[in-house]
Structure 1
């Protein structure tokens, strides 16, 4: 009799624990998304002046000193990929763990146009005109963002509107660039960043925060599709040395990339509920 009682009690406890774990599991939602990465504000603006060689007032710069981005990141329309894990605390409140990857090419054409108009044509000591072709090439902006969210959901029949506050880290890869001056048919001089103290940073990791608005439509009790607009921002200060033509002068560059991105994404999510 005692053995039967102990067996029934054990089964009851196991069933209760399994039921509790199932309830927790049913509150979890896993989502995938992809779409556009839209640069905003300073991140997309074009600014040539910070890149020009500093000279006394009224003088004309002779060359570009580097490719500074503190006033204009010159980011172009890019793409974004996302992954999120959501836990529904109550029918209205949820928390989420999120990953977002974005990539933007950098528009180097404004510097190229300015160089061709102002620096390309030269005159030698004999008064003979000649040209020094130059070109600017740059890596794209590549960002990996990890952040948490706290949100509120508002159901409207099969539709649902979600508002989420976001905070986390943005690991932005340093976008290496090079100015290359073609001195002759066989000789070119590249201008690239190099260290001040230690290596030029390859990862610019800084705090990021933002907001998300998401419109969700329920396809079934487990499957949802959604359209989201996620705004994230972060500031990435850094410094490095660069040099002018023929390495005659060194400049210490103190720069900042002001990441401002709006990810407009279509996604699908699966909720681990026990009912179909």
Structure 2
């Protein structure tokens, strides 16, 4: 998908160069931006309970069955990079082709704290206390989002405000994780996702949509600097099995990552023609 985007971009720019009409050039704008990626809603919430092994009412859970994210993605503040190619249909209306990459680390500390408080300390058949250390490790959220925009431009002297509706595809990499239980000094039991039907997905590709607000300031006839807030959302359902733990059964996990992100970015753009 990245290669396709950049191929289209290069072909489009080459086509512009060969077209040779100044008025057409004046309608084209290319921009680069970077900044923060702020997780919103379910994507950033903390939720330990869905990951616990289901047990009869009134009894205590014995272990984590997996690391579910449907009620809490536990995404932390991250960073974002963006590219956009804009074509000005009129002085007020424009369309754009956009790419946004976001990365968020995942906060696994709540599960660790819960495990240490409830499961780490055990008592053997002779009444002797012992410990079973466990740790949760996880990949980060990595999203590559390709989307189209249609917007309205409101000039105010050297400033302008843009409002854009967005729709496209979010290719979210599956954040592999592992729960590891240290049964003895030499034995550790890992809990990792594995296939239900086919391989565990390495990418979760789903429809994404959102809105963008941008304030731009004209540095010259060709260059603008801008500050933007881009909100995008998408839902990524997926299934997998967890591995066996001791005498327990494997669990089929039916999960969903509810991606909700606000990219706050500073950018610069180049107008091929300039007014």
Common fold, TM-score beyond 0.5? yes
Pairing of 1:148-187 with structure 2 (within 5 A): 148-187=148-187
Q: Once superposed, what is the RMSD of the aligned Cα atoms?
A: 1.2
Contact 1:65 1:244 survives alignment (8 Å): no
User: What is the TM-score of this pair, normalised by structure 1?
Assistant: 0.91
Deviations 1:106-165 (A, max 9, x none): 000000000000000001111110000000000000000000000000000000000000
Return the alpha-carbon distance in structure 2 between the equivalents of residues 54 and 111 of structure 1.
16
Deviations 1:11-30 (A, max 9, x none): xxxxxxx8873321221000
Offset of residue 227 of structure 1? 0.0
Aligned to 1:11: none
Deviations 1:14-73 (A, max 9, x none): xxxx88733212210000000000000000000000000011222211000000000000
Contact 2:194 2:243 survives alignment (8 Å): no
Pairing of 1:105-254 with structure 2 (within 5 A): 105-246=105-246, 248-254=248-254
Deviations 1:178-223 (A, max 9, x none): 0000011111111000000000000100000000000000000100
Contact 1:63 1:245 survives alignment (8 Å): no
User: What is the TM-score of this pair, normalised by structure 2?
Assistant: 0.92
Moved more, 117-126 or 236-245: 236-245
List structure 1 segments (4+ residues) > 2 angstroms apart after TM superposition: 18-22, 243-248
Q: Please state if 1:77 is matched with 2:77.
A: yes
Aligned to 2:35: 35
Offset of residue 74 of structure 1? 0.1
> Secondary structure of the residue that 2:24 maps to in structure 1?
helix
> Secondary structure of the residue that 1:201 maps to in structure 2?
coil
Sort the Cα spacing of 1:274 and 1:104 in 2 relative to 1 into closer, same or farther, 3 A. closer
Moved more, 22-31 or 71-80: 22-31
Return the alpha-carbon distance in structure 1 between the equivalents of residues 165 and 252 of structure 2.
38
Contact 1:84 1:97 survives alignment (8 Å): yes
Contact 2:79 2:102 survives alignment (8 Å): yes
Question: Unmatched 5+ residue regions in structure 2?
Answer: 1-17
Question: Unmatched 5+ residue regions in structure 1?
Answer: 1-17
